[in-house]
Structure 1
Amino acid sequence: MSRLAPVLSVSPCRGLVDEKLTVLVENLPPGLPVTLHSLHLSEDNDYWEAFGHYVSDHRGVVSVADDISFGGTYTGIEAMGLLWSMRPVPDGRQQLRLRRTNVCSPLLISISVYAGHQAEGFRKLCPLSSSVIERWYVAPGVKRVSVRERGVRGTLFIPPGPGPFPGVLDMWGGGGGLVEYRSAMLASHGYVSLALEYLSAEEMASAGEEFHYFETAFSLLQEHPQVVPDRVALFGLSLGCIISLCLAAESSVAKPFCCVGISGSHLRPEGEKISEVSRLFETQADKIIFDESGHQIWRGLGLAVMHDSDKVDVGKINCPFLLINGTDDQNWPAVECSEDISQRMKAAGKEHLLTVLEYPEAGHLIEPPYSPHFRVTNFKKNVKLVWGGKTKPHSEAQEDAWRKMLAFLQAHLYSSGMPRAKM
């Protein structure tokens, strides 16, 4: 080995989760095979890892952003492969989702370099060098405020600075509960974001499932003193996208300035209750198919539900709407729904309001950038669901979609002469 000890540097060592990393190893002997490895212990005490195989150049340097990984959980030149290709360690629990609950503390990720091309047993090996980095969902100064008002449950994230700021009502999918990390990131980019809780197990039959609940949440956000009242957007994934489309088209209370929808549809729940969506699924349960491992694929069920159900009159939408889909979505026929939405809006003379992004070989769960890809995960009642997507194209879709979502929000919510708030 070289007289000088190998040096591993990772920059930034402390940054937001959507910031790119620079990973550099120096002082190696030229032509040395090495393995770069990342390791994270989740809040559920599960270890996640990723690794790539490299060979040092003539200077004894490996640059993850510039050099080829010849094997591992990713291959090729992939600056962020040590994050987006993370997976549970082989001897741990499988089919998990890596989702942060406590967004006020960082993801701690250990990055190490090992001699040789290693593929297993990393925790038993001695690294040549290691570094621990922090990946934050909240920027310095972002405030987190619990919301329990007028029956609405959620968490409000407020950017630093005097404001006021545009607002975003952030809604996730049919898994229900409170999911905060996307809202925390939106606040870190200059938006007051309300992560809305709904479909909580203890309140499945409550009025919290009626559209009045979402209208009230929209009004609460709109009325907040740090929010510009006429610059509030809807942002929803899956079931959250269904709610966004319904509110944008048919609500007399919620008048969004723009909307972002991911992997959703224009399904209209009967009786204006979200619980009716689950009941629609029950009537078509025979359309669920199983893959060779017994995992459930709901795409066919979704096609049947959409065929037999009422649709939102999307021709009534009067604000810009960005729809994002993956062509390998195995959970919902989002691409087909998007095509029908496009045709209906065109017939109504509203096609200029709709922007559709489709990502080849991406799945249903298009998350913030550099999040690990989950093709199959555990769902409610021990159901194992196939979400779809292939790891590299899905990860590329997440990065590109996040950049375009932020550009879309900025173009509309900070447009028409409104200056971007100082943070």
Structure 2
Amino acid sequence: MLGASQFIELGHLLFLIIVINIPIWNIFTVTSLVTLLGMKSLWRLRFYKYSHLLSNNIKMSHQKCFSSGAPRRYSYYVAPMIIAEPTRGLVDELIRLKITYLMPNRQVTLQSKLLSEDADWWEAYAHYVSDSEGIVRVSRDKSFGGTYKGQEPMGLIWSMKLAPGSRPGMRLRKKDVTVPYLITISVYDGWISRNFDKRAVLASVVLERFYMAPGVTRIELNEEPVIGTMFFPPGPGPFPAILDMWGGGGGLVEYRAALLASRGFATLALAYLGHKNVPQSLQTFDPNLFYFKEAFNILNNHAKVSKDNVAILGLSLGFTLALLMATEIPNIHPKCLVCISGSHYKGLLEGQPVIFPDFHKDENKIKITEDGSVIWRNIPLPFPDDPKRMVQVDKIKCPMMLIFGEDDQNWPAPESAVEIQKVLKAAGKEHLLTTLAYPQTGHLIEPPYSPHFRKSKFKVPSSDKAVTVLWGGEAKPHSDAQEDSWKKILVFLEEHLVSHHPVAVTQSKL
């Protein structure tokens, strides 16, 4: 409906037509002006001033001059928008988030949320203030509170925690690497910390985070007796390769191998413990390491692998097995080793399960925290003098990258690193060693932006018993360690594998 001012303007127009006798063919111009007068939501006689709107939309305006030269401002509503680059990417890729069309200097909350394959909700949130143009740039602006503070471009990913009401003690781990994580990023008005589902969402966007890049192939390995999954980069190859082994939790863990293949390396994720298809007879320690020798040879002899251009990567118990393979198995020659959060303490006895049997023998060395979490790091300490109980690291002939967190509460990785360095120095092989030590970092050093778990439930394969294990570390420094170590792992692998490889490695991108 027209207001009083619009009726006055309309009267002026009719006066021009009737008294001054504007030609009827100019009626189009008149009609256009009347239409503009009738559009009350678009008509403003003064410059626009920002004000809070119940709809949480921002009012934008532009200027237009009429024949008299007087300015008029048209205004319209624009909803807030989240711009993410990229919306589809690998899990180790940086995301640039920008929120536009907010109220200037306005408090807002950003939230990330995903549903895991275990049907648990994970979330992170942060409090921001938009700038004078109504924009928040996560890579530039500081968070004033939430699950992280400060300038953290990837804080909404690495600071994720179990949402309130979820099962306690769970870990976020990808099972099906052929499908991405779906992470919803939302923005809310004001600073809020709970009950997000009861608040209105101003804008949202869904991110797809992949471990497998387009063109990477996944092949289940069924060559007796070895159980695992092979991942190959796009193309015919041959490619430099990596044998990837996880720790005492057992099972077949594929996500790191898939990501390494997305970065140009043929990778075999090896199952050797706590897997239904690995016979029990192979889950006891064999000093000849027959199973691991077969796995290495299958990878090394594959048609798409550059022969004798294979590295071994191991975490926790996989660390110990990588050292044993490099020092005890004749006729295999890894180009390099990447050993994360483990020890040269063998603790593996012939015929015993491939898990440290001293859990029961040295129960007096196991500490229990006030909340019931177990600390196992003291079990091997002090390291025994018996050489049969320690890996003879002085036999290592290839470059080795040693990575550990100084707050590892699960295993004595820092003490082991000191001892390994001493042994290699005495053997004149210190030049083979690259050490990465990270303060306030725990045991589970994973690919970048993976959420930090100071403690979680852990199923001991040898006893089928679940306990809560204290891994150690603090979220922010642990996340920094994961990001830094991953970059350096890739550089290390490229230096010792790709430089020897005649065909350039193509890294897959989405």
Q: TM-score, normalised by structure 1?
A: 0.97
Aligned with 1:415: secondary structure? helix
- In the alignment, which of 49, 56, 64 is matched to residue 138 of structure 2? 64
Which segments of 5 or more consecutive residues in structure 1 lack a partner in the other structure? none
Aligned ranges 1:74-89 → 2 under 5 Å: 74-89=148-163
Which residue does 1:197 correspond to in 2? 271
- Shift, 1:226, TM fit: 0.4
SS of 1:131's partner is strand
Total equivalences in the alignment: 423
Match of 1:246 among 308, 324, 330: 324
In structure 2, C-alpha distance between the alignment counterparts of 1:121 and 1:169, rounded to whole Å: 45
Contact 2:455 2:468 in 1 (8 A): yes
Q: Where does the alignment leave 5 or more consecutive residues of structure 2 unmatched? A: 1-52, 60-77, 460-464
CA contact (8 A) 1:164 1:421 kept: no
1:15 to 86, 89, 98: 89
Distance in 1, Cα, partners of 2:396 & 2:500: 20
Q: Structure 2 length as normaliser, TM-score?
A: 0.81
Contact kept? 2:424, 2:430, Cα under 8 Å: yes
Where does residue 310 of structure 1 map in the other structure?
389
Answer whether contact 1:264 1:332 (CA < 8 A) is retained.
yes
Q: 8 Å contact 1:280–1:305 — kept in the other structure?
A: no
Q: Is the 8 A contact 1:171 1:195 kept in 2?
A: yes
Change (3 A) 1:250 1:5: same
User: Which one of 207, 213, 229 corresponds to residue 282 of structure 2?
Assistant: 207
Q: Which position in structure 2 is the counterpart of 1:339?
A: 418
Give the Cα–Cα distance (whole angstroms) in 1 for the partners of residues 384 and 154 of structure 2. Answer: 38
TM-fit CA distance, 1:139: 0.6
Q: Give the CA deviation at 1:270.
A: 4.3
2:368 equivalent in structure 1? 290
User: Which amino acid in 2 is paired with 1:26?
Assistant: T
Distance, in Å, in 1 between the alignment partners of 2:439 and 2:420 is: 19
Q: Output one character per residue of 1:242-269: Cα deviation in whole Å (capped at 9) or x when no partner.
A: 0001111121033111010000111224
Q: How many angstroms apart in 2 are the aligned matches of 1:416 and 1:227?
A: 13
Tell me the SS of whatever aligns to 2:117.
Answer: coil
Question: Structure 2 matches for 1:401-420, cutoff 5 A?
Answer: 401-416=485-500, 418-420=502-504
Residue 172 of structure 2 corresponds to: 98
Asked whether the 8 Å contact 1:269–1:276 carries over to 2, the reply is no
Per the TM alignment, residue 200 of structure 1 is displaced from its structure 2 partner at its CA by 1.8
Q: Report if aligned partners of 1:234, 1:244 keep a CA contact under 8 Å in 2.
A: yes
Once the two structures are TM-superposed, the CA of residue 5 in structure 1 deviates from its matched residue by: 1.0
Contact 2:240–2:501 (CA under 8 A) maintained in structure 1: no
Letter in 1 for 2:94: K
Deviates most, 190-199 or 119-128? 119-128
Contact 1:25–1:63 under 8 Å retained in 2: yes
Stretch moving more, 201-210 or 238-247: 201-210
Residue deviations 1:55-109 (CA, integer Å, cap 9, x gap)? 0011110011000100000000000000000000011112211000000000000
Aligned to 2:451: 372
CA distance in 2, matches of 1:317, 1:124: 59
Instruction: Please report the RMSD computed on the Cα atoms of aligned residues, expressed in angstroms.
Output: 1.6
- How far residue 280 of structure 1 moved from its aligned partner, in angstroms, is 2.5
Residue type at the aligned position of 2:306: V
Q: Which amino acid aligns with 1:230?
A: D
State the alpha-carbon separation in 1 of the partners of residues 250 and 501 from structure 2: 37
- Name the SS of the counterpart of 2:291 in structure 1: helix
Question: Which is higher, the Rg of structure 1 or of structure 2?
Answer: 2
The question of whether the paired residues in 1 share the 8 Å contact of 2:241 and 2:309 is answered with yes
SS in 1 for 2:499: coil
* Alignment check: 8 A CA contact 2:449 2:479 kept: yes
